[in-house]
Structure 1
Amino acid sequence: MTTFTLSYVPCFNTSCYNGDPPRINTVHGANYTTMNLGRFAMSATPVASVNGKPAVVDERTMIPTQKQFVDPFRQGVIILDGVGYRQTVVVRSYEVGPDKAVTLQSILNLLQETALNHVWMSGLLGDGFGATHGMMKNNLIWVVSRMQVQVDQYPIWGEILEIDTWVGASGKNGMRRDWEIRSHTTGIVFARATSTWVMMNEKTRRLSKIPNEVRAEITPWFINKQAIVEESPEKINKLDDNAKYINSGLQPKRSDLDMNHHVNNVKYVGWMLEAIPDEYLETYQLSNIILEYRRECGSSDVVQSLCEPEDDKDITKYVDRCTIGVGGATELWNCFMNEGTIRFTHGLQVKEESKCHEIVRGKTTWKKRTNRYSFCG
């Protein structure tokens, strides 16, 4: 026997808050609730289901089918003349490290979450991991090809952040997504990030051009605004087994896979940073990271993390920061290690018999820690 029930899709509309309690309304015999939330009103739209299974959308996720301008549950709003997205978040205890500052991995997770919520608010989201309706029809998914994050200051536990994100074109068949993270209280910008995304066929695992149907969906959201301006992308050299620091035998766990069955890019960063010796991490703090993604990593792959410090000959760029005295280059090196900036080149690879397959190339820049966070009470 076929039965019909009702689930609800949220629809957010701006209205004037008057302090009234939730109201129960009836449309065609179906009850729905309207709640005043601050300056915004949220209403739920009934959607028919068959035999207890939602016909349009899963009632547990309630993916919007139309563009929304405010999401009170995620503290998100549409900005930048209707095409950008801003989310307010509070730094949680599990997102910080021993110094009580947000970890790079937590920053990357926040960037990913706000990007997905941006697509959620657009009304274009299918049931995939950030894929639009047109992408779902064509078995397409997004994959990141390049990412850069610049951190001027790390937020601390309990701090309230505003994260802005927006998208733009990148060549003929790519999309650029940028972010800016700032203090909600002071407006100080903590970090900026930019990334390039391309489409991959989920079944063939091959890169794809953007179909016209999908292009029509996403291009109205494109704007010409950049969080990080690069005149030309920095070249990252390939590393091999002669790298100074090597961490082998790394293998993804089931928990490292995302909804597209990828090893999440945040896991790659963790593997890369694990290869850096502790003595560097105790004195220096990451200020810039560039990642170039080359290949997928499967759940059965065994990964090797390679790390090479910047060559000594490049230290001359920091001469103006230090005075060379007795000892010449040695003293300059010591000064550089204490006061300057250090850089590393990174690589992740999978070994198969006699051949290595690159997963990611990376470059990190580290600045000497200038302060330690402490709490009273």
Structure 2
Amino acid sequence: MAAAAVFSYRIFCPIRCSAASNNHDPNKQKLNNISYSGNSTRSTKVDLHSQTTGVASTFVASVAAEKEGCRINEVQIRQNIPTKKQFVDPYRHGLIIEGGVGYRQTVVVRSYEVGPDKTATLESILNLFQETALNHVWMSGLLSNGFGATHGMMRNNLIWVVSRMQVEIDHYPIWGEVVEIDTWVGASGKNGMRRDWLIRSQATGHIFARATSTWVMMNQQTRRLSKIPAEVRAEISPWFIDKQAIIEDVPEKISKLDDTAKYVNSDLKPKRSDLDMNHHVNNVKYVRWMLENTEGNVEVQM
């Protein structure tokens, strides 16, 4: 027998009021017909009460929905995280490719993503890489309520950490340009996952940039690296593709910095704005730190 789940939330929204008693606002009519839809919903009941206070009304909606052993909360409804694989995401202009395991997202380069030369900054490109990676997991139906974490990762208190990234850029997208970003994942050793990207112009088909990265898992409490548990590997391995955006026979090893470093900032402290939802310094922030402490053209390796 299905269990009953009950939640309540308040909606504060301004509406236009009219002094004429015979004026029927069509928008008010719609407010009396709130519908709720969810997976495995047996029945839905909505009670709506309103108290008009000038130009604003407060609506208290109490929704009781019978669910198959699942309790719904407001956050889940607002996020609308898929519980099964999606092939098209009209809100993010994304779709599944590569035989059902890759992801492609179409984006427009916005004004706040470009620099003085009207081309996308390196930081903006890396942010787009991160966003498409998260949206790829979103489409898979594996995303839990964590920052790119699967259900198995959440059960094991694990988060993703980018340990290495290599980016090759031939041309920078310009302001207002429509670009397509392809991303996919593959195995990287015994305890890592590789994620690659391609950025191309939708208008010309020319590839602007390629990138490859290595992701490892870290225990969120101990802050130590972790092996990939069997249940997590079972979640992600069906999505692996034997394909690389950048061909590397042997990954280039980055030399450790010493007192011969050309640019040094010895008083660098992470700020609150540098942390992501995992309370971890986001990988893109490292690039910002490096670029803010260099002059001219530089080669950044992660």
**What's 1:150 paired with?**
168
Contact 1:48–1:55, Cα closer than 8 Å, also in 2 = no
- Return the match for 2:217 from 176, 195, 199: 199
Q: Quote the residue 1:223 is aligned against.
A: 241
Contact 2:168–2:210 (CA under 8 A) maintained in structure 1: yes
Letter in 2 for 1:102: A
Distance 1:59 1:107 in 2: 30
What is the letter of the counterpart of residue 253 of structure 1? K
Aligned pair partner of 1:77 in 95, 102, 106? 95
In structure 2, distance between residues paired with 1:56 and 1:132: 20
SS at match of 1:263: coil
Match of 2:6 in 1: 4
Q: Distance in 2 between matches of 1:237 and 1:199?
A: 23
Aligned length: 250
Give the superposition deviation at 1:29: 4.9
Decide whether the 8 Å contact of 1:6 with 1:47 is kept in 2: no
Contact 1:114 1:163 in 2 (8 A): yes
Query: Is the CA contact 2:143–2:149 (under 8 Å) kept in the aligned structure 1?
Result: yes
**Cα gap change, 1:101/1:48 in structure 2, threshold over 3 Å: closer, same or farther?**
farther
How far the C-alpha of 1:208 sits from its partner, in A, is 1.0
Structure 2 match to 1:266: 284
Q: Counterparts of 1:246 and 1:289 in 2: how far apart (Å)?
A: 14
> Separation in 1 of the partners of 2:185 and 2:136?
10
Deviation of 1:207 after TM superposition, in Å, equals 1.0
Helix, strand or coil: the match of 1:134? Answer: helix
| In 2, Cα distance between equivalents of 1:274 and 1:126 | 35
Once residues 101 and 58 of structure 1 are traced to their aligned partners in structure 2, the CA distance between those partners, rounded to angstroms, is 37
Cα distance in 2 for residues equivalent to 1:95 and 1:3: 43
Once the two structures are TM-superposed, the CA of residue 6 in structure 1 deviates from its matched residue by: 9.2
In the TM superposition, what whole-angstrom CA distance separates every residue of 1:55-108 from its partner, at most 9, and x where no partner exists?
596111011100000010000100000000000000000000011000000000
CA contact (8 A) 2:42 2:65 kept: no
Offset at residue 233 of structure 1 (A): 1.5
1:88 maps to: 106
The alignment-based identity, stated in percent, is 71
- Kept in 1: contact 2:287–2:300 (CA 8 A): no
Q: Partner of 2:53 in structure 1?
A: none
Tell me, yes or no, if structure 1 residue 178 matches structure 2 residue 196.
Answer: yes
TM-score by length of structure 2 reads 0.77
Amino acid at match of 2:205: G
SS in 2 for 1:81: helix
From 290, 294, 298, the counterpart of 2:301? 290
Higher fraction of strand:
1
Distance 1:47 1:126, change over 3 A: farther
Q: CA RMSD in A?
A: 2.5
Partners of 1:135 and 1:241 in 2: CA distance:
40
SS of the residue 1:266 aligns to:
helix
Matches within 5 A, 1:225-244: 225-244=243-262
Give the structure 2 partner of residue 255 of structure 1: 273
Which residue of structure 2 lines up, in the alignment, with residue 245 of structure 1? Answer: 263
Q: Secondary structure at the match of 2:250?
A: coil
Describe the shift of the 1:263–1:28 C-alpha distance in structure 2 as closer, same or farther (beyond 3 A): closer
Cα distance in 1, alignment partners of residues 79 and 6 from structure 2 = 19
Higher RCO, 1 vs 2 (CA within 8 Å, ≥6 residues apart): 2
- Structure 1 CA distance for aligned equivalents of residues 292 and 154 of structure 2: 36
- The equivalent residue for 2:135 is 117
Please give the alpha-carbon distance, in whole angstroms, between the structure 2 residues aligned to 1:134 and 1:47: 27
Distance 1:247 1:47 in 2: 56
- More moved, 72-81 vs 243-252: 243-252
